[in-house]
Chains A and B, each alone.
Chain A
Amino acid sequence: SHELTQPPSVSVSPGQTARITCSGDALPKEYAYWYQQRPGQAPVLVIYEDTERPSGIPERFSGSTSGTRVTLTISGVQAEDEADYYCLSADSSGTSWVFGGGTKLTVL
C-alpha cells in the first residue's frame, strides 16, 4: 500500500532552519504537496508540486526532492510557524492519495 512517512516532531529555535522530511516509494514519480495546520484551523497549502510556493506563502517556505524523499524547509523560523505539517502524494496510478502522518513543529 501507498504510505508516506514523516517524523512525528521537529523542534527549532526562532531564526533557525527547520527541515521536515517525507518519504515514500512513489515520490520519485509523483509530486508532493505540503500543508500547514494550526490548532483548530483548516489546513493551508504551503508547497505544491514538490517545490512551488503558492501566492501569499512567505519565501521562507521552500520544498525540495531527492529520490524517495521530499523535504519542506522553513528558513528563519518564526513563532507563527509552530503548527502541524503534512505531506500529500498520490500512488503510482495517480488515483489514490495519502497524507503522511504529520509532523509537529515546535518553536522553542
Chain B
Amino acid sequence: EVHLAESGGGLVQPGRSLRLSCSVSGFNFDEYAMSWVRQAPGKGLQWVGFIRSKKGYGGTVEYAASVKGRFTISRDDSKNIAYLQMNSLNTEDTAVYFCTRTLSGRYDHWGRGTLVTVSS
C-alpha cells in the first residue's frame, strides 16, 4: 500500500527556516517525481514545486515564482524521503504543506499534510 507522511511542521518566527520531510513507502520511490503543494488556512491549493526522478531526469527541480530562491526541494532515494527546505519564511507561507507522488500533473497519492505557522 502506498503511504506518504509529512513531518517537520510547526510554529516558526518570520525570517527563520524550517525543513519538512516526506517519508514514503509502498512504491519504488526513485522512479517517481515528488511534488509539494500547500494550502493556506481557508484558501485554495497552491503548487509549490516538484523534483523529478534522478533516473533519466536528473533529479531536476521546478519552483513556483512565490518560493523560488527561498525554498529548496531535494530527495534522498536511499531513505525514500523528499525534503522541502524553507528559508526566509514570512507570514504568507503559513499553510498546510502536502507532499504528493507525481506523474506529470497526476498527483495520485497524497500525504495528510503538515501545518507550518509563521508568526512572531
- Chain A interface residues (CB < 8 Å from chain B): 1, 31-33, 35, 37, 42-45, 48-49, 54, 84, 86, 88-90, 95-102
Contacts and interface: CB of A to CB of B under 8 A. Distances in A.
Given A86-B44, A99-B46, A102-B45, A54 B108 contact: yes
A88 B64 CA distance: 14
Given A33-B107, A89-B105, A42 B98 contact: yes
Contact of B111 (A31, A42, A97): A42
Interface string B40-63: 000011110010000000000010
Given A88-B47, A97-B105, A99-B46, A42 B62 contact: no
Contacts of B47: 88, 97-99
Contact of A45 (B44, B62, B65, B106): B106
24 contacts: A1-B65, A31-B105, A32-B105, A42-B113, A43-B37, A43-B98, A43-B110, A45-B106, A45-B107, A48-B105, A84-B44, A88-B107, A89-B105, A90-B104, A95-B62, A96-B62, A96-B64, A97-B50, A97-B105, A98-B47, A99-B37, A99-B44, A100-B44, A102-B45
A85 B62 CA distance: 24
Given A37-B45, A102-B44, A45 B98 contact: no
Contacts of A44: 110
Given A90-B104, A95-B62, A99-B45, 11 more contacts: A43-B37, A43-B98, A45-B107, A54-B108, A84-B44, A86-B45, A90-B105, A96-B64, A98-B47, A99-B37, A99-B47
Contacts, number: 57
Interface of B: 37, 44-47, 50, 62, 64-65, 98, 104-108, 110-113
